[in-house]
Amino acid sequence: MRRDMLWLKECGIACVAESVLNSEELDKTVARLIVVARRDGYAQGYAECSHHVTNALKVDWDTSKSATHGVDTDVALAALKTETCNFLLWIL
């Protein structure tokens, strides 16, 4: 029993943790999450800024030519967050 516990401590748990942390699938998912979160942050920030400009200057601010016009970034971020929370990694 003691040998089994020692093996599990030195090899078993460490191997599982190393497999998870070094998995290509996890790296790709985290990279996608960073990109989508950055896009959503940019879109939300731009929308908030244009709202403040409109209120401060009392003018209509045309956002139709912005890169974020008509893009629903919060839905994409929510979907990827759900996918990340349900992420399964097969360890052999």
State the Cα torsion 15-18-24-26 to the nearest 10°: 110
Whether 68 and 47 have beta carbons less than 8 Å apart is answered as yes
**pLDDT tens for residues 11-21?**
777 777 777 78
Mean pLDDT of 26-50: 85
The pLDDT, as a whole number, for residue 77 is 87
Whether 45 and 74 have beta carbons less than 8 Å apart is answered as no
> Taking Cα atoms as reference points, which of 33, 36, 29, 31 lies closest to residue 72?
36
- The chain-wide mean pLDDT, for the chain, equals 80
The pLDDT, as a whole number, for residue 92 is 55
